[in-house]
Amino acid sequence: MLWKLLVEYVRPHRKPLAAVVVFQLAQSIASLYLPTLNADIIDHGVATGDIGYILGLGGVMLGITLLQIVCAVIAVYFAAKAAMGVGRDLRGAIFTRVGEFSEQEVTRFGAPSLITRSTNDVQQVQQLVLMSATMLVTAPMLSIGGVIMAVRQDAQLSWLIAVAVPVLLVAVGLITWRMVPLFRKMQKRIDTVNRVLREQLTGIRVVRAFIREDIETERFARANEDVTDTALRAGRLMALAFPAVMLVLNVSSVAVIWFGAFRIEDGSMQVGTLIAFLSYLLQILMSVMMATFMAVMIPRAAVSADRIGEVLRTEPSVRPPARPVGTTAAQDGRSRGELEMRDVGFAYPGANQPVLSGISFTARAGQTTAIIGSTGAGKTTLVNLMPRLFDATSGSVRMDGVDVRELHPDLLWGHIGLVPQRPYLFSGTVRSNLLYGKPDATEDELWDALRIGQARDFVEQMEGGLDAPISQGGTNVSGGQRQRLAIARALVKRPELYIFDDSFSSLDTGTDARLRQALKRSTAGATLVVIAQRVSSIVDADQILVLDDGRIVGRGTHSQLLETSETYLEIVSSQLAAEETV
């Protein structure tokens, strides 16, 4: 997967990588030429005492060295540019693909893992590209060129190269083979640390309320210790690689000097030649050491590439139709917002039992359809099917008579205003959050939405009003204020279909009543679907559906259901005073 990923995402950066190859080639040629010049200085300058020759050839060496430095700097610049570009493209690809995922895929991967894959995993691949462009390009040039130049200096000592290089490669190969499973395990344990930390930060109030700080600290310490332990084991193997290289390098150097000394003694080799041969051997082994460093990085990058590829290969379960319907009321602006479900069923992948089955009803324009049921009845799953966050596994969900699977998701969502059960506000201001509903909304429209959503009073009291800051997740406002801002955000949009997923539960009874009255006036003509657990929020609904164990077990108005549905009567009895049940 690593090579396939690299080929796909490196291809757009061919030009800077070609520049890297050119400048690295020039740098390598300069590096290979310097030992030969050094040998000439020793044999023809130092040995004969020719100062002019030493200075002249020394100046040439200085010029070549400066050229080598310039080429190295330019090569690293282009390598960094290409590597950063690859990282940018990978992060963009992951972000785009995750943005296409339905709730099903996001739940399967988990938010912590997706964050790790788009940050740490991308960084590993990006680092590999950078090191490959700087080291992996240079290593073969120096090793092959070094062998050629070393043989030119003295062919009889070349057997030392034939022994040293294979020994080094075997040692490094064994170490790398042991590191692959450790890197795979380490990435998974980083996911775990992210998950634990995210849970603790999100649920900090619960942790403190139940005095669980010590237990959560211990839980994080265990996850942190697992990462540390795996990283230490991988680090020990990595640390073993470099001493192995240095051992082979130093033993080889001693062998060259040892056997070279005998050849100098019998007059078959000059001192300069020995020094040059030793320099070329060191260059060869250093290039092998660079390749070793790359070999250590490749396993971890390969694991990261597999994890990135897993995200990119995952096809969203909710996809736009190949040929979206183009002549419907929803398409040409005559949408009424009528929602219909025909014998809808839904089951999660691998589940033994469906969450929903046989769901059929019609939510008509100008009416309020309420859905009530106990916890686990399937209300939230039903909500997710309406705007096509999930696709029904049987039956069909229809908007103005058209199956939602035949409409482009953007078109469908453009006619729906959804207030989720857990309202989420983005970091920014009150204004920026409301503009999510309608980017071109005027200030009057924003204040009107806040008024209907019962949020105007507290927003006016905030410093800055519409420009008052909102922290990530809306943590600087109360739960009820966050809920009312989320409702106002949907109201700004003025859609044909409103879906309130238990959106009134965090509001006090008085605010709830005022909000419902304001909604009734401002959303006349639109379709309202209200998911609720509190009966007082839906007593005036035109149609109430009672959901139990994934099935509709009652339907009608409040007064009708009190007479016909035992399940509804039980819910009402558990919430309202006895006199309100008759």
User: What is the pLDDT, as a whole number, of residue 577?
Assistant: 52
Give CB contacts under 8 A, 24+ apart, made by 71-75: 71/23, 71/24, 71/26, 71/27, 71/30, 72/23, 72/27, 74/19, 74/23, 75/19, 75/20, 75/23, 75/24, 75/27, 75/133, 75/134, 75/137
The string of DSSP codes covering 445-461 is: HHHHHHHHTT-HHHHHH
What residue segments make up the domains of the chain, in order of their start?
2-313
**434, 446 Cβ separation under 8 angstroms:** yes
Whole-structure pTM value: 0.71
Q: Coil, helix or strand for 289?
A: helix
Closest by CA to 512, choosing from 537, 477, 480, is 537
Helix (H/G/I), strand (E/B), else coil: 566:
helix
- C-alpha span between 368 and 399 (Å, rounded): 16
Please report the DSSP string for 331-367 in residue order. Answer: TTT-----EEEEEEEE--TT-SS-SEEEEEEEE-TT-
What local confidence, expressed as pLDDT, does residue 539 receive? 87
Q: How far apart are CA 317 and CA 150, in angstroms?
A: 60
Q: Which helix (H) or strand (E) holds 269?
A: none
Rg (CA), the chain: 35
Q: What is the dihedral of CA 202, 208, 214, 217, to 10 degrees?
A: 20
CATH hierarchy code of domain 2-313: 1.20.1560.10
Looking at 266-315, list the stretches that DSSP marks H as alpha helix, in order from N- to C-terminal side. Answer: 271-313
Instruction: State residue 579's pLDDT score.
Output: 43
Q: 131, 289 in Cβ contact below 8 A?
A: no
Question: How confident is the model at residue 326, as a pLDDT?
Answer: 54
What are the backbone angles phi and psi of residue 394, rounded to the nearest 5°? -150, 155
Per-residue pLDDT, 327: 42
How would you classify residue 378: left for phi > 0, otherwise alpha for psi between -120 and 50, otherwise beta? left
pLDDT, tens digit only, all 582 positions of the chain: 677 888 888 889 989 989 998 998 888 888 888 888 888 888 777 777 778 888 888 888 899 999 989 998 999 999 999 999 999 999 999 999 998 888 788 888 888 788 888 988 899 899 888 888 887 778 888 888 888 888 887 777 778 878 877 887 787 777 777 877 887 788 788 878 888 887 887 777 788 777 788 888 888 899 899 989 988 988 888 778 778 777 887 888 888 888 888 878 777 778 888 888 888 888 887 787 777 667 667 877 888 888 899 999 988 888 878 777 754 444 455 557 889 999 999 988 777 888 899 999 999 988 899 999 887 788 888 988 998 888 888 999 998 888 888 888 888 888 888 888 888 888 899 999 999 888 899 999 999 999 998 999 999 999 889 999 998 888 888 888 899 999 999 999 888 899 998 888 777 878 888 888 888 888 888 899 999 888 888 888 999 999 988 899 999 999 899 888 888 888 888 876 534 444
